[in-house]
Amino acid sequence: MGTDSKSGDITTDVIDDLVVLGRAGPELISDGRHTVCLGGWSDTKGFVRIYPTHRYTTHAKRWNVIKVPVEQDPSHDWRDESWKIQGSKRDWDNLYKKVEQMERLDRQKRIELTKRIPKSCANRLNDEKKSMGLVEPAEIHDAYLEPIDNPEPIATDLTGAELRSKKSYPHKLRIEYTCKDCVAKGTHDQHTIEWGVYRFWDQEPDNPEQVIDNLRLFDDDYRNYFFIGNLKNQPRAFVVISIIRWKKGDVQQKTMDQFL
């Protein structure tokens, strides 16, 4: 690990053992940066959120172990798990170059890690003032598309390429579930913002419901875990950042991996 250093309230560090567990759907920041939020697990830091990152940061695929210089500013984001890449605004155009791939976990290591990461429930995370966690669903009750009434107009960059944000799609995916050792009174019903869902909708805009089958949520041959996080401005509201799944037995998961 790098040496911690402090300047004012901003902490800088280098995380070199961050396993990417998922990336969220795209967002547009008001200054025009097209961004995604990346989340993962570090044995030294626990859960880590890095925001903003480039939409296409090739080294940041799920299950890659990455090394990245980070900084934390509690005056900007109070959540212990939240970090930015050092110089994320100043060096935005070249930010992806700061993400270094150390390793890529094979299937066995992915399963071992998923089992080893502590599991929780959104309500328990909320009580503990934690902003991220991994959930093992005991039962998935429903998955459905909720219409977005007034989707944002799709912005374009100087070349005319579309810059979609999560809010520019006509629907959002929600999953209703209970977790193992759940402490919620009812079920959880959470917006699912996994990057792969939006990539699927980009490629199959006329068949949006198909994403539910592709996620294998109701397929008994698959084991699912939900990587969840809360919203900075609505800390009690948790969303599913990413769905981790594998087929029981020895077949590699393929259905959604092409979109991650």
Q: Which residues bind Zn ion (CB under 5 A)?
A: 121, 179, 182, 184
- What is the bridge-based pairing of β-strands 132-135 and 222-231? antiparallel
Q: Which amino acid is at 94?
A: N
Residue number with CB closer to Zn ion (140 or 184) = 184
Output the six-digit token pair for 185: 């009174």
The C-alpha atoms of residue 62 and residue 19 are separated, in whole angstroms, by: 7
Query: H/E element holding 19?
Result: strand 10-23
Q: How far is CA 260 from CA 190, 242, 257, in A?
A: 20, 10, 5
Residue number with CB closer to Zn ion (52 or 229) = 229
Residue number with CB closer to Zn ion (88 or 242) = 242
The C-alpha atoms of residue 161 and residue 157 are separated, in whole angstroms, by: 6
Residue number with CB closer to Zn ion (76 or 129) = 129
Output the six-digit token pair for 46: 């626990």
The C-alpha atoms of residue 173 and residue 144 are separated, in whole angstroms, by: 6
Residue number with CB closer to Zn ion (85 or 121) = 121
- In terms of Cα–Cα distance, which of 10, 36, 9, 8 is closest to 22? 36
216, 156 Cβ separation under 8 angstroms: no
Residue number with CB closer to Zn ion (36 or 135) = 135
Least separation in angstroms between residue 187's CB and Zn ion is 8
Secondary structure of 154-169 in the HEC alphabet? CEECCCCCEECCHHHC
Least separation in angstroms between residue 133's CB and Zn ion is 10
Residue number with CB closer to Zn ion (182 or 241) = 182
Output the six-digit token pair for 19: 């396993």
Least separation in angstroms between residue 40's CB and Zn ion is 22
